[in-house]
Structure 1
Amino acid sequence: MKRREFVRTAGGTTAAAAASAGVTGTAAAQEVQPDWPSGAADGNGGNYEDLRGESEVTITVGAGSDGLAFDPTLAWVDTGTTITWEWSGSGGAHNVVTVDGPASLDSGDPVDEEGETYEYETTEEDAGITHYHCVPHDAVGMHAGIAVGEDVETVETGGANTGWPEDIADVGMPIHAHWVGVSAGLGIVLTMVFTFYMLKYGESAHTGHGGSR
């Protein structure tokens, strides 16, 4: 094999590996969830659970490292589901009160006892999205939300494209780190092989192409 042929072969292999790295990813499946109002979506914790199909659901009051969150922060449930808010005993005195939305949540005065509970059974009148909070900790982000029933506004989340972008102008977007590593490793191996070939055979760049031998 002449050096130029080797270079062309090596270059083609490296380019193919890089191209493979760029297009291997596929679009992640998108998830549909309620279109939460910003006040609820920005609540401490921020975790969402689709709990439809569950007849009974429990939400922790006073979750998180500082006890200032609801867990799950955002929950989608069916009509007729019994929701139980259960106090963890952390973060001080809390309560559950509606900020905006169809469900009339009101657990009463703030309490801090571990094991305290507040139950609410959702009905057709609660259909939609309700934003609620802990009154004493409103300013520090102890907000949350529940969505009830199927007739709620939804949005698609996730679905980040991990491969070739739909818009060719975005070709420069990042690719999977492990493919970058594979491509870099392949390039190193090809360089070492090329160096060995040249040291062993020492062919001129013009060998076989009309140059001196």
Structure 2
Amino acid sequence: MTGQKSWAFLAQNDLGEGEAPLALIFDCDGTLLNSLPVYERAWRATWGELGYSMDHSWYQPRSGFSEDNLISAFEEKIGKKVDHTAISEKIRTHYLANIQHVVEITPIADIARNAYGFFPMAVASCAPRALLVEGLKMVGLFDLFNVVLSVDDIGIPKPAPDIFLKAAEILGVKPEKCLVFEDSVTGFEAAERANMPVIDVVPMVSGNMKD
């Protein structure tokens, strides 16, 4: 999608009755960045080191989970408790070792580029802050946003609405006037609970996703 087309797409997705959004809030992984394959490899490598296997069919519907929630879900799968802090450290080490494979998702990145200077914008992600910031900086998107929030900043992951509500507060815009771009079920629920209209980006980005 070209920048011109992405801007037209944004203009056509208002809040109803001709009222345009006043701010834009983007998820990151699977929305702005094609980072989920790198995360998945990091998770699989980490669990493999502990003697467990994690397949794509199990990971994919949980890819929008925070680290802590995904570890808890895997504990249920294997019927055993693990050290969350140690697992998180391993995941982040594997991810950063392969971060060069993370690329932008151009249709959504183009929307952000074209909206820059016209709308206040935020990123609201369940990713750890260090990985979130590093990924956005690496692909040159970080400076487009007025605020970048991670689960580390809020403490409560999606589907709780807190991270979206905090983004709206910092941007100085009422929640119902913010337009959210998301790719996961947990993100959709969080936006709805925050009373924010949300666009499912999956149909827009499917041709730009690579394993």
Length-normalised TM-score, structure 1: 0.23
Relative contact order, CA 8 A, sep 6+: which one is greater? 2
Greater Cα radius of gyration, structure 1 or 2: 1
Length-normalised TM-score, structure 2: 0.23
Q: Greater share of strand residues, 1 or 2? A: 1
Q: Greater share of helix residues, 1 or 2? A: 2
